[in-house]
Every structure is written in structure tokens, then in C-alpha cells.
Amino acid sequence: MGKSRLEAFSDGVIAIIITIMVLEMKVPHGDDLASLRLIYPVFFSYILSFVYTGIYWNNHHHMLHATQKISGPVLWANLHLLFWLSLIPFATGWMGENHFSEVPTALYGVVLLMAGIAYYILSRSLIRLHGADSPLAKAIGNDIKGKLSVVAYAVAIPLSFVNRWIALAMYVLVAIMWLIPDRRIEKVVEI
């Protein structure tokens, strides 16, 4: 089975996710800079989620570039990932509108955790399909970065109830970790 429809569908869903997030931001009432200060939590949560969505889109693109085919289980694993990514606008809006209070910040972490797990499942489904000696398997390797991300989310979720700012900082640090260029796939497959 070819991969072009999966790529096109995933790109479309991710574009819609970004569009929904920006449409959820309400224009402040007022025409001075002080009125912008009131919406900083919404804007910051949007920036963080935009970065996360971009990271998933970028890594998804690279991973699919390193594949030749897909299967039924890969389709379902991809839908599983898209499901969790589609919840990012809701979690983003709730966290921002409530000024990073404990429960919304924890829920944001749950969405990130589940998206990280779903991405791992998708990558393992593709490796299973292409074989342990495939370029994709060699490129992903032990996926230390992916595993560290999931652990950080799992720690940050309960930490949201102790100190939401530390939990939020952990989400930011994971995003920064992924913004550092990851050339694993590019080294194995010409992109």
C-alpha cells in the first residue's frame, strides 16, 4: 500500500489543528498594549502548542520519507497519533484561558504524553513493517529522545498539582529538546 494518501491526510489534519488553535485566540478588547497583557497566557499556550504541532509534523514527515509502504496497522497507529494531536487545541485553549491552573496544565501534559506514546507506536509499527535492518529502524535506533519526552510528561502531570510552573517548564524544555535538529533520519536517508 502506498503512503501518499497517509501523508496527505496527516498533513491536512495537522494544518487544521494549527488553524483551530489560532482561531480559538480571541482578539483583546482595547487598543493599547495593556490589553495584550491580559491574553498572554492564551498567546503563550498557543506558541507552545504551535511548536509542538510543528515538531510532530516535521518528525512525521521525516519518518514517512524513510518508509516505502504502509499497512493497515500503520494506518490505525497514524490515526491514533492524529487523535491525540487533535486534542491539542482543546487542551491549549483550556490551559491558556485558565492561566495555567493545575488541572488544565495536567490535562495538557496528558495530551502530550499520549501523543508521545502514539508516535512511538507509529514508529514501531513502521519498523515492524519494514524490518529491523531497514533504514528507518537504523535511524530511530533506541529513540532516547522520544523515551525521555514521555518520561518528562509522565513526571510533569502529577507535578502540575504541586507546582504548575515547574510542570510547564518541563513541557517547554521537552519542546526545546526537539527543536535542536535531530538528523538521525537525514543521516540514513537522503532527504
pLDDT value, residue 91: 97
Give 58's contacts (C-beta < 8 A, 6+ positions apart): none
pLDDT value, residue 154: 98
Cell readout for 27 is: 482578539
pLDDT value, residue 190: 64
Q: Quick: pLDDT tens for 39-78.
A: 889 999 999 999 999 999 999 998 998 899 999 999 999 9
- 169, containing H or E segment: helix 164-179
Q: Quick: pLDDT tens for 151-173.
A: 999 999 999 999 999 999 999 99
pLDDT value, residue 64: 92
- Average pLDDT, stretch 73-84? 98
**Global pTM value:** 0.92
Question: For residues 11 and 19, what is the distance between their CA atoms, to the nearest angstrom?
Answer: 12
Question: For residues 191 and 65, what is the distance between their CA atoms, to the nearest angstrom?
Answer: 7
Query: How do the residues of the chain divide into helix, strand and coil, expressed in percent and rounded to 5?
Result: 80, 0, 20
pLDDT value, residue 28: 83
Question: For residues 3 and 75, what is the distance between their CA atoms, to the nearest angstrom?
Answer: 10
